[in-house]
Structure 1
Amino acid sequence: MSRAIGLSAEQARRFPDYPFRGFWFSQGGARQHYLDEGVGRPLLMLHGNPSWSYLWRHVVLGLRDTYRCVAPDLMGMGLSDRLDDPVGTPIAVHRASELNRLVDHLVEEHGAPEHGWTLVTHDWGGPIGLRLARLRPGTVGRLVFLNTTGFSWPADYRLPRGLRAIRHWPLSRLTHHTNGFVHAAVRLGVSGPLPTAVRAAYLAPYRRPRDRGAVLRFVKDIPLGPTDIGWTEAQRLGDDLDSLTGLPTFIGWGMRDPVFHDVLLAEWTRRLPQAALHLYPHAGHYVMEDAADRLVHDLRAFLSSSDSRLPRLAPPHDSVTRFRKGAPG
């Protein structure tokens, strides 16, 4: 069963710096919303919890002159329809499978290449993106990790007390009904206050309790130890990183992140010592908010320097042109 949310794409375009048309893809009767801006090598931008494609607006606006920026709203989040996700399987596994179908759609019907995609990931987008890479061997040609994870959490990592608490009843129920987690994220995830309209944009898709089921599910699914539902899968993702060490990799890190802090950064650099490392000392979890201009500059330099390592990109064909002019997504 799926449910549409109360926020329309037209309303979303009124938010600051989000002038995008947006497209829709049917996932078994449920609609997934995504941005598809620019023409060039595709960048697949994956948000985490509790955000949506609005998170990527500065990156999309800054790179769409040279790259094809695809930024989905994960099912159950943003403008995408809400689902009744089955229990017993980590929610990230479902989201990766849905993204796999979306990429198939873009390749088969809208001129996207089969190979040479760049994963640009944040928060839960990291584990979801790495699962997608496993589902599509050879599709991903570059990796960008921004304040995320992609392995089982290190033994010396401690989740902040407040986040630990809302993983369990009754506090999780209270947080869910008051939208407390989303409110906290947009205040504590940045180093300086966001403008009121920007904060409202982050909150808008999650105004009603029925709109934020996936938000709560992601919190409960954080794989902190062997008894958590996603622990085994997180270990597999960490093992998979060994097969990706030859890919051009960018790690960008907001150093004031209260959750994804230096313990996780150290684990990334241990596992991927060849990665281009960019630290943003004054940025929090939402590094693309606190350090937008610098991040876009650094990403452009990284992408430009590694474009030659990807398969040659064919010119866009007529289906892409028709798609851009308004053919159904």
Structure 2
Amino acid sequence: MTLPGYPFTSHFLTRAGLSQHYVDEGDGAPVLMLHGNPSWSYLWRRLIVALRTEHRCVAPDHIGMGLSDKPGEDRYAYTLASRVDDLDALTDHLIATEGAPERGWTVVMHDWGGPIGMAWASRHPERVARLVVLNTAAFPNPHGARVRPALRLPLWLLRETRVGARLFLRHHAFARLATLPPFGVRRRLPREVRDAFLAPDDGRGHRVAVRRFVGDIPIGPGDGAWPLLTRTGESLGEFADRPVLIGWGLRDPVFDPLMLTEWRRRFPAAEVHAFPDAGHYVLEDAYERLVPAIEAFLRR
């Protein structure tokens, strides 16, 4: 497997018979990097390289994604709550046996990493020192129940049709489109980078996680993740005194400027870097500007 720009040692935590892969690089105050769907810890490669001389960078792959195990739905729940439990287990392990501190954690979140990371943070607010928010949400959709146009077709296919689910598994379309402009990025990725984003796909196992993440998107009170998302949104006020950096690609078809406005409403003192030429994968489209901004933020 060729992974350009990802020269990291793999670590694994086995729990309930499933191994979760994570990167653990550098020393210093811990920076916890949480990816979303359909990416994996490869997303953080540039940020890890930039920060690991001064910080301990921890970047897990969610179960079913990246280099983690890819169980069937009979062995893993594939829910927001199960993801938060996984993160709890990993951070407890790092604190109890791997020398990580109990306090002083910076949480960096993208896409599904937002609700996962903030739900974890609401369990342990004393651990969290700073937040870095990148094209994500940790509160109910400010658009209400109106589904964004970019999500209407995949949600309908996955939730309402069996054919859509089969096509999703067979062609891995969601992950492939996410690495192409204008869907996940605004500028074309080098072929070897696009291949690396897709490299952990082993067929159906990996694609189950991608499909279930889409199916778990909480649109309204009838969805399984809705209560936890609502509680997480209500808990954000606990972090109003923490330094917050927001890095946002304004050309994101799902996490649009109204989502950014909601984050700014919740954290009016946040340092905001908005990039009109960047899409959903803001760390791909604007890394030359965003990575130094995060470095400077953490030094302060």
Shorter-normalised TM range: over 0.9
Residues 1:164 and 2:155 aligned together: yes
**1:97-145 C-alpha deviation (Å, 9 max, x unpaired):** 1111111111111111000100000000000001111222311111111
Report deviation, 1:29.
Answer: 2.0
Report deviation, 1:88.
Answer: 11
Residues 1:262 and 2:250 aligned together: no
Structure 1 range deviating more: 204-213 or 35-44: 204-213
Letter paired with 2:173: G
Partner of 1:123: 111
CA contact (8 A) 1:36 1:69 kept: yes
**1:15-38 C-alpha deviation (Å, 9 max, x unpaired):** 110111121111122111111111
Helix, strand or coil: the match of 1:19? coil
Partner of 1:137: 125
* Count of aligned pairs between the two proteins: 293
CA contact (8 A) 2:250 2:276 kept: yes
Helix, strand or coil: the match of 2:139? coil
**1:117-176 C-alpha deviation (Å, 9 max, x unpaired):** 000000000000011112223111111110000001113553223333333223233122
Report deviation, 1:177.
Answer: 1.7
* Structure 2 gap segments, 5+ residues each: none
Letter paired with 2:36: G
Q: Hey, what's the Cα distance between the residues in 2 that align with 1:88 and 1:195?
A: 34
Aligned pair partner of 2:167 in 174, 190, 194: 174
Helix, strand or coil: the match of 2:197? helix
CA contact (8 A) 2:81 2:225 kept: no
Structure 1 range deviating more: 83-92 or 256-265: 83-92
Residues 1:184 and 2:177 aligned together: yes
Residues 1:298 and 2:293 aligned together: yes
CA contact (8 A) 2:114 2:133 kept: yes
CA contact (8 A) 1:91 1:221 kept: yes
Partner of 1:94: 82
Report deviation, 1:209.
Answer: 1.5
Partner of 2:30: 42
CA contact (8 A) 2:125 2:239 kept: no
Partner of 1:212: 207
Aligned pair partner of 1:52 in 24, 40, 43: 40
Report deviation, 1:207.
Answer: 4.0
Residues 1:103 and 2:91 aligned together: yes
Partner of 2:248: 253
CA contact (8 A) 1:90 1:229 kept: no
Partner of 2:49: 61
* Structure 1 gap segments, 5+ residues each: 1-10, 306-329
Q: Hey, what's the Cα distance between the residues in 2 that align with 1:90 and 1:202?
A: 21
Q: Hey, what's the Cα distance between the residues in 2 that align with 1:21 and 1:212?
A: 25
Percent of aligned positions that are identical: 47
**RMSD of aligned C-alpha atoms?**
1.7
Letter paired with 2:274: L
CA contact (8 A) 1:90 1:230 kept: no
Letter paired with 1:233: L
Q: Hey, what's the Cα distance between the residues in 2 that align with 1:184 and 1:234?
A: 26
Letter paired with 2:169: H
Q: Hey, what's the Cα distance between the residues in 1 that align with 2:74 and 2:222?
A: 19
Helix, strand or coil: the match of 1:49? coil
Structure 1 range deviating more: 84-93 or 108-117: 84-93
Report deviation, 1:289.
Answer: 0.6
